[in-house]
């Protein structure tokens, strides 16, 4: 009898301890990471693409607040100037600068990198945030399908051209902004860019570009690791956040009719920017991690590490995408 009680008590104690440890880990994972957790960034140089609105604007503003030399890499200088004025009004001591960058133009990307390298010898964070979503079929000035061309190829080329600075800066990070939409993305290397609009669907093409963001992140991390680099590659997604991107989709009458509650479910762009910020500056981040909101279906909430699909971890696809991207952009990473 005593033996039975002893065994029972031991089992219960074991379960209790397991539950306690598990809940401690869970609490840590789910701890509410906010802008208050951003460390001092004085001395750091951070580029945010598409920083004039939405997620990019919020992230750039908070990096600047913490002392980073922040570069607003934007295609529309007027919009960028309005964003800069807003940041300077709120944070007068901030060090923020506009540098023109159109990710749908390989020559603009090269010009941007040339200008950047004339001014800066280090790059602590490259936040590849800019994006277009679910637009009709179209091509960039280099002939790339525009969602793949802007969201993936533009950032791929930008990263490749800046890789020397990233490798020379202690603990630099590349942060690629993906989306829950990567879940319906597929890679079809025989018709990667829906040539001439063949088989094009705005949703599918967006999903593919966002899957490409993750394949690129994980492959870059593998390549950093292979050469023993201190730099890391990380990904993030904002869940569902109210920005120009989502508002432009919601303005269609059929969306309003079919999904009357959808617009009310969106979190603010400031909340949506937290995963990108955490991936960019939380000192505990490990290369290859993917951050997104902790809430229901990763639509909203505080940023935590989230899983991505099996397709996003397909190393063969990642290698092929890398090769194709190097060929298309003419940018070979010196890794």
Which residues sit at the interface with ligand NAP, rule CB under 6 A?
Answer: 49-50, 52-56, 74-76, 79, 101-104, 129-133, 150, 177, 179, 237-238, 240-241, 243-246, 272
Which C-beta is closer to ligand NAP: that of 37 or that of 244? Answer: 244
Which 3 state secondary structure label does DSSP give 332?
A: coil
Nearest to 114 by CA among 104, 101, 127, 105: 101
Q: Which is nearer to ligand NAP, 218 or 229 (CB)?
A: 218
* CA–CA distance, 311 with 302 (Å, rounded to integer): 25
Between CA 180 and CA 210 the distance in angstroms is 8
Contacts 24+ apart (CB under 8 A), 217-220: 217/174, 217/176, 217/178, 217/288, 217/290, 218/288, 218/312, 218/313, 218/315, 218/318, 219/315, 219/318, 219/319, 219/321, 219/322, 220/159, 220/174
- Count the neighbouring beta carbons within 10 Å of the beta carbon of residue 317: 18
Radius of gyration of the chain (CA): 21
**Minimum separation from the CB atom of position 309 to ligand NAP (A):** 15
Q: How far is the CB of 88 from ligand NAP (least distance, A)?
A: 18
Cβ-based nearer residue to ligand NAP, 74 or 166: 74
Q: How far is the CB of 184 from ligand NAP (least distance, A)?
A: 13
- The neighbouring-strand residues paired with 74 are 100
CB closer to ligand NAP, 67 vs 238: 238
Catalytic residue among 206, 218, 240, 290: 206
Task: Tell the smallest beta-carbon distance from residue 206 to ligand NAP (Å).
Answer: 8
Residue 25 CB, nearest distance to ligand NAP (Å)?
27
Q: Which residue lies nearer to ligand NAP by CB, 54 or 160?
A: 54
The verdict on whether 290 is a catalytic residue reads no
Closer to ligand NAP by Cβ: residue 130 or 193: 130
What are the residues whose beta carbons fall under 8 Å from the beta carbon of 23, sequence distance 6 or more?
Answer: none
Counting Cβ atoms within 10 Å, is residue 36 exposed (0-12), middle (13-18) or buried (19+)? exposed
- What is the smallest separation between the CB atom of 165 and ligand NAP, expressed in angstroms? 20
| Sequence-ordered alpha helix ranges (H) in the chain | 2-29, 54-65, 77-90, 106-119, 146-147, 155-168, 202-226, 244-250, 253-258, 262-265, 269-272, 274-281, 315-329
Q: Please give the positions annotated as active site.
A: 206
């Amino acid at each position: 009898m005593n033996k039975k009680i002893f065994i029972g008590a031991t089992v219960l104690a074991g379960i209790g301890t397991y539950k306690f440890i598990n809940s401690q880990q869970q609490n840590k994972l789910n701890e509410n990471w906010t802008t208050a957790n951003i460390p001092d960034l004085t001395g750091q140089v951070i580029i945010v693409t598409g920083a004039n609105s939405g997620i990019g604007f919020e992230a750039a503003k908070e990096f600047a607040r913490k002392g980073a030399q922040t570069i607003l890499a934007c295609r529309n200088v007027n919009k960028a100037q309005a964003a800069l004025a807003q940041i300077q009004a709120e944070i007068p001591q901030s060090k923020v600068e506009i540098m023109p960058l159109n990710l749908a133009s390989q020559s603009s990307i090269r010009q941007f990198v040339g200008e950047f390298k004339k001014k800066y010898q280090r790059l602590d964070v490259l936040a590849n945030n800019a994006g277009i979503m679910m637009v009709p079929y179209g091509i960039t000035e280099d002939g790339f399908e525009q969602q793949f061309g802007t969201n993936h190829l533009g950032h791929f080329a930008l990263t490749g051209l800046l890789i020397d600075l990233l490798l020379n800066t202690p603990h630099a990070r590349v942060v690629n902004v993906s989306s829950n939409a990567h879940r319906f993305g597929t890679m079809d290397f025989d018709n990667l860019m829906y040539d001439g609009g063949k088989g094009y669907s705005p949703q599918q093409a967006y999903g593919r570009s966002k899957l490409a963001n993750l394949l690129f992140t994980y492959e870059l991390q593998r390549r950093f690791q292979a050469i023993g680099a201190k730099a890391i590659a990380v990904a993030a997604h904002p869940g569902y956040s109210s920005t120009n991107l989502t508002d432009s989709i919601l303005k269609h009458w059929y969306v309003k009719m079919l999904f009357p509650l959808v617009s009310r479910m969106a979190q603010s762009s400031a909340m949506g920017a937290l995963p990108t910020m955490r991936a960019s500056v939380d000192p505990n981040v490990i290369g290859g991690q993917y951050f997104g909101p902790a809430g229901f279906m990763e639509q909203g909430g505080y940023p935590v590490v989230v899983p991505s699909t099996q397709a996003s971890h397909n190393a063969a696809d990642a290698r092929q995408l890398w090769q194709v991207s190097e060929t298309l952009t003419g940018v070979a990473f010196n890794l």
